[in-house]
Structure 1
Amino acid sequence: MPANDKHKTIALAVRHNTAGIEEPVRSVIGFLEQAGYRIVLEDDTAAHLGLPGMEALSIEAIGLQADLMIVMGGDGTMLGIARQLAPFDVPLVGINQGRLGFMTDIPIERMLPALGEILGGQAFEEKRTLLEARVVRDGAVIASGLAVNDVVVARGAGAGMVELKVSVDERFMYNQRSDGLIIATPTGSTAYALSAGGPLMHPTLNGIGMVPIAPHALSNRPIVLPDSSHIVIEVVSGRDVSVNFDMQTFASLAHGDQILIQRSPDTITFLHPEGWSYYDTLREKLHWNEYPSVEGKLTKGY
């Protein structure tokens, strides 16, 4: 597999504290070096692995220099990397070292053949949208962030319900009393939004999911909005209310704070092996191809 002109410098990031990760990492590095690629490690990964002679770069430097990034870990690892690299449009390949793996979808036992296919030009390219949000207090922005999965406004543990005033495109939608509200991308529809009863959205759908968390009124149902929508959530009442971006960045909120949410102009690009299917991923991760047998055991359905 000769080095493809499109992918000369390849960066690698690995989930920290993963037992036995060193051997798969060495296999990937050896495979890529033999093919003639320049390999760089994300600096935290380099510090964690301690591999001698490997070049280490910051995320910003990777964004400026790398043609491709391989992420070995779970979806949480991918979320953190994707949010930071989104402004640079570096394609991402995910090798699953976690559990679910909706984004890190290549099984570790297939990683070398899959990388060979992708780098050899047999790749399926997929664009994913992000959300950007700003927290405004007394007319000033006090926090902001990007989200690959979701922006979540929620009450603190042990606190009562939060009341939120929601407007879309400068039109009042409702005042909602609940444990919180999830604003999700199609990518995030398989994350927290799914566990809260939200709909699955195909990654190519131009939509934003709005999913209440344990609403006081059962008539408050999930809704899918156009991704051109400008959403404003105002904190009316509640204690220990916060907003988080992909469950990785948090900001505390006060009464009267507004969270302004819209689609980000940035996108992220995932590369999958040829023949990859989103429906295959759903079927595998959500066990759609399993049903109870007569003995009560799960059986594969074909």
Structure 2
Amino acid sequence: MPTRFRHAALIGKYQAQGIRPMLEGIAAFLSRQGLEVSLDRETALNTDWRDHGALSPAEIGAQCDIAVVVGGDGTMLGIARELAPYNLPLVGINQGRLGFITDVRASDWEEALGPIIQGDFEEDRRAMIEGDVWRDGEKIFEGLALNDVVVSRGATAGMVELRVDIGDEFVANMRADGLILSSATGSTAYSLSAGGPILHPSIGGWVLVPIASHTLSNRPIVLPDSQDVSITIVNGLDVSANFDMHRLASLLHGDQVRMRRSAVQVRFLHPKGWSYYATLRRKLRWYEGVV
């Protein structure tokens, strides 16, 4: 069977101790399968590995047709945002502790990668949140999130008051430590720990979750992702907006965070037979107590 892919990018969690031997093994395996292999530039610099060409995310998007990401969900989140506009499929090999979106076990990577690069895989597309921050009619920040956008107070500040509008309709003023707008993918991340529900990634929806709300009647709500969501800073000190790992600090009263469904999606490739429910069982230990 001919190889489906021709040029693979290899991205690693270069901060992880001892990751280079694993990256070298994956690169050698891909080369034996007939693929050209390039390293993400940051991975190459931080592992001092020069055996393969080093590319920026934009160059990876233009030159490669598959990306293999070795690390945890944080590593995947960072590169997924940068590569999503190029429609590049991603395979995640999990070296982290949890791993909802880097789902191939580190011990099983060769068994999983072989069929995938030959075209035998399950494809999974994930929606993203696109947003920006406005101050006095001027856009001061824009970002893209796969998991969530969080508007919250600083570590030493008191609670904040936030106005929520959905579409053209005012919803509520909420006093809390903050608000999370989560995608279905992010519903198993911060949103879950704050009491939000799990959304299957095929659902076209978001979850709006108050963080430690002052009013117990302010509950998580599932929203259609066809409408824009705006969060306006009414009151509070040291308020920040966080797009996954990209943080804009020191928002002012009257600043508005506007969010909408992005036109781009993230493409994940999984081994044949992959199941979202099996991932939940494994990661959330739902099998415990079952005889």
TM-score normalised to the size of structure 2?
0.98
The partner residue of 1:201 within 199, 202, 205 is 199
Amino acid at match of 2:208: M
Change (3 A) 1:81 1:3: farther
Mean CA deviation greater in 245-254 or 36-45: 245-254
1:33-64: CA deviation from partner (whole Å, max 9, x where unpaired):
11110000000011122223311110000011
Q: Report the Cα offset of residue 16 of structure 1.
A: 1.7
Q: Distance in 2 between matches of 1:259 and 1:26?
A: 42
Contiguous gaps of at least 5 residues in structure 1: 292-300
1:188-241: CA deviation from partner (whole Å, max 9, x where unpaired):
000000000000000111001100000000000000110101111110000100
Within 5 Å, give how 1:40-79 maps onto structure 2: 40-79=38-77
The partner residue of 1:161 within 159, 162, 165 is 159
Name the residue aligned to 1:174: 172
Q: CA RMSD for the aligned pairs? A: 1.0
Contiguous gaps of at least 5 residues in structure 2: none
Within 5 Å, give how 1:23-102 maps onto structure 2: 23-102=21-100
Any idea what SS the aligned residue of 1:289 has?
coil
Any idea what SS the aligned residue of 1:53 has?
coil
Q: Distance in 1 between matches of 2:6 and 2:91?
A: 15
The answer to whether the Cα contact below 8 Å between 2:44 and 2:50 also exists between their aligned partners in 1 is no
Amino acid at match of 1:35: Q
Any idea what SS the aligned residue of 1:290 has?
coil
1:10-47: CA deviation from partner (whole Å, max 9, x where unpaired):
00000022112122111111111111100000000111
Q: Distance in 1 between matches of 2:49 and 2:191?
A: 39
The partner residue of 1:283 within 281, 284, 289 is 281
The partner residue of 1:261 within 259, 262, 265 is 259
The partner residue of 1:109 within 107, 110, 114 is 107
Any idea what SS the aligned residue of 1:203 has?
coil
Q: Report the Cα offset of residue 247 of structure 1.
A: 3.0
Mean CA deviation greater in 70-79 or 17-26: 17-26
The partner residue of 2:119 within 113, 118, 121 is 121
1:260-301: CA deviation from partner (whole Å, max 9, x where unpaired):
11110010000000000000110011000002xxxxxxxxx3
Within 5 Å, give how 1:184-223 maps onto structure 2: 184-223=182-221
Amino acid at match of 2:81: R
The answer to whether the Cα contact below 8 Å between 2:128 and 2:264 also exists between their aligned partners in 1 is yes
Name the residue aligned to 1:294: none
Mean CA deviation greater in 17-26 or 277-286: 17-26
Q: Report the Cα offset of residue 180 of structure 1.
A: 0.2
Q: Distance in 2 between matches of 1:20 and 1:107?
A: 16
Q: Distance in 2 between matches of 1:228 and 1:152?
A: 19
The 4+ residue runs of structure 1 with deviation greater than 6 A are none
Any idea what SS the aligned residue of 1:135 has?
strand
1:167-202: CA deviation from partner (whole Å, max 9, x where unpaired):
101101000000000000000000000000000000
The answer to whether the Cα contact below 8 Å between 2:8 and 2:36 also exists between their aligned partners in 1 is yes
Name the residue aligned to 1:295: none
Q: Distance in 2 between matches of 1:167 and 1:42?
A: 40
The answer to whether the Cα contact below 8 Å between 2:78 and 2:245 also exists between their aligned partners in 1 is no
Any idea what SS the aligned residue of 1:103 has?
coil
Any idea what SS the aligned residue of 1:46 has?
helix
Q: Distance in 2 between matches of 1:51 and 1:184?
A: 37
The answer to whether the Cα contact below 8 Å between 1:80 and 1:248 also exists between their aligned partners in 2 is no
Amino acid at match of 1:202: H
1:140-193: CA deviation from partner (whole Å, max 9, x where unpaired):
000110000000000001211100011101101000000000000000000000
Any idea what SS the aligned residue of 2:227 has?
coil
